């Protein structure tokens, strides 16, 4: 399969001037020398993206992922190295960038399209599709300044996706427009995937990577620190995120201890990252940094009624998740937990012993942790399960099996959707008269 | 951003079932440097954008104004009127058909100054798209030159009306000069505009500097006064001012303005009201004299343009960050 994007030892340097001297006077006063620091936003990044792959670029704020994305799009040029892309590249960094408020929607379509490199005749042939997709048929000759922000964005998206890109570059800012239009956009992205187009998505949300991408790279401080399947990438992302958060200054043990001592502070300490990735918040284990190898998960088993004769659990019945471990020595702070995801990688639910009054102690040897669910609230499907063992402060990971298990569920009920909510359905005659009024609460 | 073309011999079919779409697609290389030819080809590929942006500049400039496009004529017309009143009526320079003389120079100057100063601020004005979309960064600057050209076209219509009203004819032998003069003018304005556009991203006072320079430059060009008023007096100036005159003679806009005046105003030493000839343009300069001067200007402008594109290329990698 041909390579769609080749990134060859790309580095990007930014000059950080201690003061922004943008005027000649200031430059002259400083003898032409403005104190600056070199900041390498990207350092020797090299990887390839195969055709047809939906590729995630994962990283925290300031990791260089946006710089790389802009370099692939050709908006900025790397200081060293080069990027080779094959085919037409469309970058959705900002929808409707370059719209002229004074001009009509029709004129803006042509102007925006030529900005993206499309010819006038090509736009002519797609014009009705673009307008139809944007749902702006009756407003297309109005000035864009009278458009609502939703209409604006819809038009921008419509132009961008109709330029028939071979490579689509998407920034996560795409969560725009009303829900219906968002679904339409996602649908279009999926159609692009089916058509074998290459898509690069920049995000700091691991969920997004799990849901949409087939491969991902992780950037940290301008370096490529992970490259592989979404699960591998997410794991590497978490490790580096925590290292950044908690071990920013690893020599200062004091600050580390104060972080570890205070459970509530711990939550705050990771808040910066949590805010930027809202979906992460309820998750059992947000991040982990240090590995301790003396305590291992030896197996994970799902136990349910008749689990010896069938390999699926039944909705609404009880389920036990049994996690076996082996300890080389005794540990006095162990936090076992599990997390269940749906097929698209969305975090569904999970539990751990974080709120236990006392830390869990483990003696040397083998043992099991058992999580019991009385009534399994899942419908038909296969659900990836993550299990892990770590310390109470979540900074030391003993062992971690990211989505290594699959829980199969069969549902016998008539409920549809995501959750198995047992519902009784009955019928009764409609009540009239004073009785009915009372029921309505009048 | 260069559109290098490369092919892969046989498109392969991936296992997932969709045919490869990229097999024969052109390669694009994003690298720190691209050469001059690639640069020019890119601009050519985006010519429709250039047209669109030029149209936009004209539209946006006079948006929501009742008189709209008329303003683009009213403004220079007022200037002309002021010069006319000051030099012809108050200072009595005695130049016959002074309005025509003025207009043929002002036409050149308006184009020159509005395209250079427009181009200078164009990247800053379009920073929102430069940060978000990849396209040749020269385009906004070139669009300013384009819109200045359109305005020049409209102003020359007014000039033609004036010619008809005064019943004066342009010098037929010299009208051909307008072509090389226009080439020189457009090349010079484009080169200078690109240079200032690139520099202005980092040093914003380029546009202020340019404003000052342009107003001096205007008076250093024989537009409101006749060329010979300076040339014929050179010998009488004290020698320690010679360098100023040398500088004056190096003004690349002067040959362009002179060519326009020679072709449109038509006469070199018309008789004034008193019957004495008033020396305006060189008497014995033929087509060749003008052509050589224009050729020199074109040569200078092309060299400047190559230099400007070089500066542009060196700087454009960081436009998106500095804007």
Could you tell me if A166 lies within 8 Å of chain B, comparing CB atoms? yes
Q: Which residue of B45, B135, B321 is in closest CB contact with A14?
A: B321
User: For residue A97, which residues of chain B lie inside 8 Å, CB to CB?
Assistant: 128-129, 132-133
Put simply, the answer to whether B134 touches A74 (Cβ < 8 Å) is yes
User: For residue A111, which residues of chain B lie inside 8 Å, CB to CB?
Assistant: 49, 52-53, 56
Q: Which of A412, A85, A215 is nearest to B4 (CA)?
A: A85
Alpha-carbon distances, residue A430 vs A423, A438, A440, A442 (angstroms): 20, 13, 12, 17
The answer, yes or no, to whether residue A256 has pLDDT greater than 60, is no
Q: The tokens 């300890």 sit on which residue?
A: A327
* Domain presence at residue A386: yes
* CB neighbour list of residue B227: distance below 8 Å, 6 or more residues apart: B254, B258, B261, B280, B281, B282
pLDDT (0 to 100) of residue A286: 35
- Indicate the pairing of strand A215-220 with strand A360-362: unpaired
A219 phi/psi in degrees, rounded to 5: -110, 140
Residue A68: how many other CB atoms lie within 10 Å: 28
For residues A90 and A163, what is the distance between their CA atoms, to the nearest angstrom? 8
Could you tell me if A48 lies within 8 Å of chain B, comparing CB atoms? no
The answer, yes or no, to whether residue A250 has pLDDT greater than 50, is no
pLDDT (0 to 100) of residue B19: 59
User: For residue B209, which residues of chain A lie inside 8 Å, CB to CB?
Assistant: 24
**Between A356 and B225, where is the model more confident?**
B225
State the first-to-last Cα distance of chain B, in angstroms, to the nearest integer: 19
Q: Which domain holds residue A382?
A: 290-422
The dihedral of CA A299, A300, A306, A311: what is its sign?
A: negative
Report the percentage of chain A scoring pLDDT > 70: 78
pLDDT (0 to 100) of residue A332: 86
Structural domain boundaries of chain B?
36-322
Alpha-carbon distances, residue A212 vs A88, A345, B22, B158 (angstroms): 22, 9, 22, 62
The first and second tokens of residue B203, run together, are: 């040093």
Which of B134, B135, B209, B312 best tests the A interface by mutation, with the highest count of A CBs <10 A? B134
* CB neighbour list of residue A117: distance below 8 Å, 6 or more residues apart: A88, A163, B45, B46, B49, B135
Put simply, the answer to whether B28 touches A84 (Cβ < 8 Å) is yes
pLDDT (0 to 100) of residue B24: 63
Cα–chain center distance at A211: 8
The answer, yes or no, to whether residue A27 has pLDDT greater than 70, is no
pLDDT (0 to 100) of residue A315: 84
What number is the ipTM of this complex? 0.76
Could you tell me if A194 lies within 8 Å of chain B, comparing CB atoms? yes
For residues A143 and A99, what is the distance between their CA atoms, to the nearest angstrom? 10
**Three-class SS state of A13:** strand
The first and second tokens of residue A174, run together, are: 């795409």
For residues A284 and A279, what is the distance between their CA atoms, to the nearest angstrom? 12
Q: The tokens 């995501």 sit on which residue?
A: A418
For chain B positions 135-194, those within 8 Å of chain A (CB to CB) are: 135
Put simply, the answer to whether A87 touches B21 (Cβ < 8 Å) is yes
A70 phi/psi in degrees, rounded to 5: -65, -30
pLDDT (0 to 100) of residue A246: 43
Put simply, the answer to whether A79 touches B317 (Cβ < 8 Å) is yes
Residue B80: how many other CB atoms lie within 10 Å: 19
pLDDT (0 to 100) of residue A290: 55
For the whole prediction, is pTM greater than 0.80? no
Q: Average pLDDT, stretch A279-303?
A: 61
The answer, yes or no, to whether residue A142 has pLDDT greater than 60, is yes
Q: Average pLDDT, stretch A3-27?
A: 76
**Between B265 and A396, where is the model more confident?**
B265
Could you tell me if A52 lies within 8 Å of chain B, comparing CB atoms? yes
CB-based burial, A114-151: b 16+ in 10 Å, e otherwise: bbbbbeeebbeebbeebbebbbbeebbeebbeebeeeb
The first and second tokens of residue B64, run together, are: 């929501």
For residues A72 and A7, what is the distance between their CA atoms, to the nearest angstrom? 8
SS (H, E, C) chain B: CECCCCCCCCCCCCCCCCCCCCCCCCEEEECCCCCHHHHHHHHHHCHHHHHHHHHHHHHHHCCCCCCHHHHHHHHHHHHHHHHHHHHHHHCCCCCCCHHHHHHHHHHHHHHHHHHHHHHHHHHHHCHHHHCCCCCCCHHHHHHHHHHHHHHHHHHHHHHHHHHHHHCCCCCHHHHHHHHHHHHHHHHHHHHHHHHHHHHHHHCCCHHHHHHHHHHHHHHCCCCCCCHHHHHCCHHHCCHHHHHHHHHHHCCCHHHHHHHHHHHHHCCCCCECCCCCECCCCCCCCCHHHHHHHHHHHHHHHHHHHHHHHHHHHHHHCCHHHHC
Could you tell me if A9 lies within 8 Å of chain B, comparing CB atoms? no
Query: Which band of pLDDT confidence, cut at 50, 70 and 90, is reported for residue A285?
Result: very low
The first and second tokens of residue B175, run together, are: 């009208």
* CB neighbour list of residue A124: distance below 8 Å, 6 or more residues apart: none
* Domain presence at residue A410: yes
pLDDT (0 to 100) of residue B18: 54
B121, B200 contact by CB (below 8 A): yes
* Domain presence at residue A269: no
The answer, yes or no, to whether residue A46 has pLDDT greater than 50, is yes
CATH number at residue A378: 2.70.50.60
Min Cα distance B193 → chain A (Å) is 19
pLDDT (0 to 100) of residue B108: 94
* Domain presence at residue A271: no
Which of A196, A198, A200 best tests the B interface by mutation, with the highest count of B CBs <10 A? A196
Q: Average pLDDT, stretch A60-76?
A: 85
Q: Which of A25, A33, A4 is nearest to A200 (CA)?
A: A4
Nearest chain A residue to B131, by CA? A75
pLDDT (0 to 100) of residue B319: 83
The first and second tokens of residue B124, run together, are: 């800053």
pLDDT (0 to 100) of residue B216: 92
Task: Chunk chain B into consecutive blocks of 10 residues (it has 323) and report each block's average pLDDT, rounded to whole numbers.
Answer: 35 48 66 76 88 85 69 78 86 83 91 94 89 88 93 87 82 88 96 93 87 93 87 73 78 93 84 77 83 94 93 83 76
The answer, yes or no, to whether residue A337 has pLDDT greater than 60, is yes
pLDDT single digits (tens) A93-124: 777 777 888 888 998 899 888 888 888 888 99
pLDDT (0 to 100) of residue A24: 65
CB pairs under 8 A between A and B: 153
* Domain presence at residue A217: no
Could you tell me if B133 lies within 8 Å of chain A, comparing CB atoms? yes
* CB neighbour list of residue B178: distance below 8 Å, 6 or more residues apart: B259, B260, B263
Query: With the CA atoms of B101, B107, B108 and B113 taken in that order, what torsion angle do they form, in degrees rounded to the nearest 10?
Result: 130
Put simply, the answer to whether A24 touches B31 (Cβ < 8 Å) is no
A44: left (phi over 0), alpha (psi -120 to 50) or beta: left
Could you tell me if B2 lies within 8 Å of chain A, comparing CB atoms? no
Segment (H or E) for A173: none
* Domain presence at residue A205: no
pLDDT (0 to 100) of residue B173: 82
Q: Average pLDDT, stretch A339-367?
A: 83
pLDDT single digits (tens) A308-329: 777 888 888 889 999 999 998 8
Q: Average pLDDT, stretch A339-346?
A: 80
Put simply, the answer to whether B27 touches A72 (Cβ < 8 Å) is no
């Amino acid at each position: 399969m041909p390579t769609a994007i080749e990134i060859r030892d790309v580095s990007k340097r930014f000059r950080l001037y201690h003061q922004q001297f943008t005027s000649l006077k200031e430059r002259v006063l400083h003898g032409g020398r403005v104190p600056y620091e070199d900041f390498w936003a990207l350092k020797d990044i090299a990887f390839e993206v195969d055709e047809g792959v939906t590729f995630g670029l994962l990283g925290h704020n300031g990791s260089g992922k946006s710089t790389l994305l802009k370099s692939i799009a050709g908006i900025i040029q790397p200081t060293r190295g080069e990027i080779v892309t094959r085919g037409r590249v469309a970058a959705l960094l900002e929808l409707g960038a370059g719209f002229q408020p004074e001009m009509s929607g029709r004129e803006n379509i042509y102007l925006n399209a030529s900005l993206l490199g499309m010819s006038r005749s090509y736009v002519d042939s797609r014009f009705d599709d673009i307008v139809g997709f944007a749902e702006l048929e009756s407003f297309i000759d109005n000035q864009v300044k009278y458009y609502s922000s939703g209409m604006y964005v819809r038009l921008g998206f419509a132009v961008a996706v109709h330029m028939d890109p071979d490579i689509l570059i998407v920034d996560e800012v795409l969560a725009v427009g009303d829900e219906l239009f968002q679904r339409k956009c996602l649908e279009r992205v999926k159609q692009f995937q089916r058509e074998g187009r290459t898509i690069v998505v920049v995000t700091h949300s691991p969920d997004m990577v799990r849901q949409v991408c087939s491969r991902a790279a992780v950037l940290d401080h301008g370096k490529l620190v992970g490259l592989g399947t979404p699960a591998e990438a997410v794991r590497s992302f978490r490790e580096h995120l925590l290292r950044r958060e908690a071990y920013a200054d690893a020599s200062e043990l004091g600050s580390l201890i104060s972080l570890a001592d205070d459970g509530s502070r711990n939550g705050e300490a990771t808040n910066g990252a949590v805010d930027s990735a809202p979906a992460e918040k309820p998750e059992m284990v947000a991040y982990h940094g240090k590995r301790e190898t003396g305590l291992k998960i030896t197996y994970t088993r799902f136990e349910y009624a008749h689990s010896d004769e069938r390999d699926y659990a039944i909705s609404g019945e009880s389920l036990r998740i049994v996690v076996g471990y082996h300890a080389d020595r005794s540990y006095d702070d162990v936090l076992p937990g599990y997390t269940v995801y749906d097929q698209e990688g969305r975090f569904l639910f999970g539990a751990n012993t974080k709120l236990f009054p006392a830390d869990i102690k483990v003696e040397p040897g083998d043992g099991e942790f058992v999580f019991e669910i009385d009534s399994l609230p899942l419908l038909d499907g296969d659900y990836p399960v993550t299990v892990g063992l770590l310390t109470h402060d979540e900074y030391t990971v003993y062992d971690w099996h990211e989505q290594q298990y699959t829980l199969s569920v069969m549902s016998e009920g008539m409920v549809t959707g995501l959750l198995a909510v047992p519902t009784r359905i009955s019928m009764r005659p409609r009540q009239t008269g004073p009785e009915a009024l009372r029921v309505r609460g009048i | 951003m260069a559109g290098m073309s490369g092919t892969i011999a046989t498109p392969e079919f991936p296992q997932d079932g969709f045919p490869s779409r990229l097999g024969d697609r052109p390669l694009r290389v994003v690298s720190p440097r691209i050469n001059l030819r690639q640069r020019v080809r890119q601009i050519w590929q985006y010519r429709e954008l250039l047209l669109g942006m030029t149209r936009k500049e004209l539209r946006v400039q006079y948006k929501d104004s009742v008189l709209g496009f008329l303003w683009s004529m009213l403004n220079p017309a007022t200037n002309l009127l002021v010069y006319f009143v000051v030099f012809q009526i108050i200072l009595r320079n005695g130049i016959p058909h002074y309005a025509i003389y003025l207009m043929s120079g002002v036409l050149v100057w308006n184009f020159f100054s509005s395209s250079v100063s427009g181009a200078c601020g164009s990247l800053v004005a379009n920073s929102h798209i430069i940060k978000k979309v990849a396209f040749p960064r020269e385009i906004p600057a070139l669009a300013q030159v384009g819109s200045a050209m359109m305005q020049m076209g409209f102003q020359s219509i007014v000039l033609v009306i004036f010619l008809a009203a005064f019943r004066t004819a342009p010098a037929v032998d010299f009208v051909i000069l307008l072509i090389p003069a226009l080439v020189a003018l457009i090349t010079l304005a484009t080169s200078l505009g690109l240079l200032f556009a690139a520099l202005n991203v980092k040093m914003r006072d380029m546009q202020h500097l340019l404003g000052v320079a342009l107003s001096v430059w205007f008076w250093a060009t024989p537009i409101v006064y006749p060329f010979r008023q300076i040339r014929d007096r050179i010998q009488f100036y004290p020698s320690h001012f010679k360098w100023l005159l040398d500088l004056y003679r190096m003004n690349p806009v002067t040959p362009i303005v002179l060519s326009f005046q020679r072709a449109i105003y038509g006469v070199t030493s018309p008789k004034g009201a008193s019957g004495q000839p008033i020396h305006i343009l060189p008497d014995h300069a033929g087509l060749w004299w003008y052509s050589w001067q224009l050729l020199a200007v074109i040569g200078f402008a092309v060299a400047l343009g190559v230099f400007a594109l070089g500066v542009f290329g060196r700087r454009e990698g960081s436009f998106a960050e500095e804007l």
